[in-house]
């Protein structure tokens, strides 16, 4: 006869055997409370049965176990119970499979494979619809402009290609998160971390210069011009990032199978996204209808003896006339002001888009020309500090027509010549931009009003 203690010791498992049982039985999971209840209930029954059997044997000299059940049946039941108990405790000691793992698995599927892909897909669709490079964050736009010098294409073509490439990359990441569970969480954490870094690069400088009000203003461009401000976007992206970090993917049975799982579907979705990106037509040029000048018929001169006809003297003109507006405008303008120094103002395509011609003497003498926005705090401060009151040097201010009229600030320069660029194209530039023009040639310029040395040099003409 096999005693209860021998049966108990014979069913013991080592830690390595328990871990092997845990990995081999991962596909047949049962709730943890069921294991625990069965283990405790059967262990108590076996212990009581063993104690009763030993007591009967001591009293009567023979085993009474056969009266209730066969030793083989009890042995098999106890081994199954002990095996399941070891599985349960091995799982409980595994940090990747502890209490609350089921909720983390559900969080993984909800956040990393549903919410974050749809969030990224929505932003990509809005970018593809508007195709406005002005909405790109300044760090991203700087990188795009940096690589423009490496390719021999116009800035307009390069910006269009770059916008499509960014949208295609987002479509590809969405396809990976939807179809490839092994990489969904890693891709989600990486892309949201990048978004948070970019948003912080927008919020921190605005907060330092203008406080919380400046950081709260405007749109980050993630969901077009009407999207939320950077602070709200940072809160949303950071919340999704935290949820993605604490989520857990269910362990795969076969590592090789998990790597290749969903790859054909992801490639198919990426190809569909590439086709959509390519088939969207580019933004067309904007036709400009120049105003027709009024025809003025001069009155015939009356010739009298006291008013004899005078012969006009022809004086050769040395002033270059303003060329006027072009026949069409590009969909967007990204001026590289570093190339403007030493060139003529009337040779710049964006400067010729003024709805009214500049003063006739713009190509004579010294002028200050400033591109500004009516709701720009830095523009207002620069005009208030250096161009308010009586001006010693004539000044031409050119407004960028992409601001909210309700947020417009008062014009502090009363003697400035006011002009506005054509409405329709997207002007991708940071204002204010101050130019010093001498006889129609740009001799100096300032793109950063915080650079006091450059600003003083431009104003002084040194």
How confident is the model at residue 330, as a pLDDT? 84
Question: Integer distance in angstroms from the first to the last C-alpha of the chain?
Answer: 110
Interval 125-175: pLDDT, tens = 988 888 888 778 878 888 888 887 777 777 778 888 888 999 999 999 999
Q: How far is CA 68 from CA 49, 71, 357, in A?
A: 9, 9, 111
Residue 173 is predicted with a pLDDT of: 95
- How far apart (Å, rounded) are the C-alpha atoms in residues 64 and 263? 64
Strands 395-399 and 366-372: parallel
Residues 68-90 have pLDDT tens digits of 445 555 556 555 555 555 554 44
- The percentage of the chain sitting over the pLDDT mark of 90, rounded to a whole number, equals 31
**Cα angle at 374 between 392 and 413, to 5 degrees?**
20
Cα dihedral sign for 385, 390, 392, 395?
positive
For the segment 282-335, what is each residue's pLDDT rounded down to a tens digit? 777 676 665 544 433 444 444 455 545 444 443 444 567 888 788 888 888 888
Closest-CA residue to 197 (of 163, 233, 148): 233
| Alpha helix stretches (DSSP H) within 375-434 | 377-386
Task: Give which of 39, 21, 38, 18 is closest to 29, Cα–Cα.
Answer: 21
Phi-psi region of 61 (alpha: psi -120 to 50; beta: other; left: phi over 0): left
pLDDT in tens, 56-71: 556 555 444 444 445 5
Check residue 132 and give its pLDDT.
81
Give the model confidence (pLDDT) of 221-274 as tens digits. 777 777 788 888 999 999 999 999 998 877 665 555 566 778 899 999 999 999
Q: What is the token pair recorded at 208?
A: 């330092």
Backbone angles phi, psi at 369, to 5 degrees: -120, 125
The CATH architecture assigned to 328-460 reads 3-Layer(aba) Sandwich (3.40)
Q: How far is CA 316 from the centre of its chain?
A: 58
Tally Cβ neighbours within 10 Å of residue 184: 26
DSSP 8-state class, residue 417:
E
């Amino acid at each position: 006869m096999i005693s209860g203690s021998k049966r108990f010791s014979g069913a013991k498992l080592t830690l390595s055997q328990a871990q092997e049982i845990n990995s081999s039985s991962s596909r047949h999971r049962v709730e943890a409370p069921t294991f625990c209840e069965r283990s405790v209930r059967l262990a108590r029954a076996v212990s009581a049965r063993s104690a009763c059997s030993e007591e009967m044997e001591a009293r009567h000299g023979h085993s009474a176990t056969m009266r209730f059940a066969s030793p083989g049946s009890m042995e098999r039941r106890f081994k199954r119970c002990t095996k399941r108990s070891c599985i349960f405790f091995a799982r409980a000691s595994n940090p990747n499979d502890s209490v609350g793992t089921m909720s983390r698995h559900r969080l993984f599927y909800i956040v990393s494979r549903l919410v974050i892909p749809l969030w990224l897909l929505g932003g990509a669709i809005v970018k593809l619809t508007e195709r406005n490079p002005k909405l790109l964050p300044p760090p991203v736009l700087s990188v795009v402009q940096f690589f423009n010098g490496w390719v021999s294409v116009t800035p307009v073509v390069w910006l269009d290609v770059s916008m499509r490439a960014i949208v295609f990359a987002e479509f590809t990441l969405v396809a990976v998160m939807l179809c490839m569970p092994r990489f969904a969480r890693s891709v989600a954490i990486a892309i949201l971390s990048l978004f948070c870094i970019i948003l912080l690069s927008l919020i921190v400088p605005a907060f330092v210069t203008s406080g919380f009000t400046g950081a709260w203003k405007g749109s980050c461009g993630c969901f077009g011009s009407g999207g939320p401000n950077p602070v709200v976007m940072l809160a949303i992206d950071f919340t999704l990032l935290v949820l993605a970090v604490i989520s857990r993917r269910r362990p795969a049975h076969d590592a090789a199978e998990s790597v290749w799982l969903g790859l054909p579907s992801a490639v198919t979705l990426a190809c569909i996204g590439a086709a959509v990106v390519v088939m969207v037509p580019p933004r067309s040029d904007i036709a400009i209808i120049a105003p027709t000048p009024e025809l003025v018929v001069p009155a015939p001169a009356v010739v009298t003896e006291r008013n004899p006809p005078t012969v006009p003297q022809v004086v050769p003109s040395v002033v270059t006339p303003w060329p006027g507006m072009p026949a069409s405008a590009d969909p967007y303008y990204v001026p590289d002001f570093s190339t403007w120094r030493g060139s003529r103002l009337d040779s710049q395509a964006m400067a010729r888009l003024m709805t009214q011609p500049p003063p006739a003497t713009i190509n004579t003498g010294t002028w200050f020309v400033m591109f500004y926005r009516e709701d720009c705090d830095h523009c207002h401060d620069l005009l208030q500090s250096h161009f308010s009151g009586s001006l010693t040097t004539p000044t031409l201010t050119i407004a960028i027509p992409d601001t909210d009229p309700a947020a417009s600030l008062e014009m502090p320069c009363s003697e400035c010549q006011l002009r506005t660029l054509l409405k329709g194209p997207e002007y991708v530039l940071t204002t204010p931009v101050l130019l010093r023009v001498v006889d129609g040639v740009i001799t100096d310029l300032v793109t950063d009003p915080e650079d006091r040395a450059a600003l003083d040099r431009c104003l002084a003409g040194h």
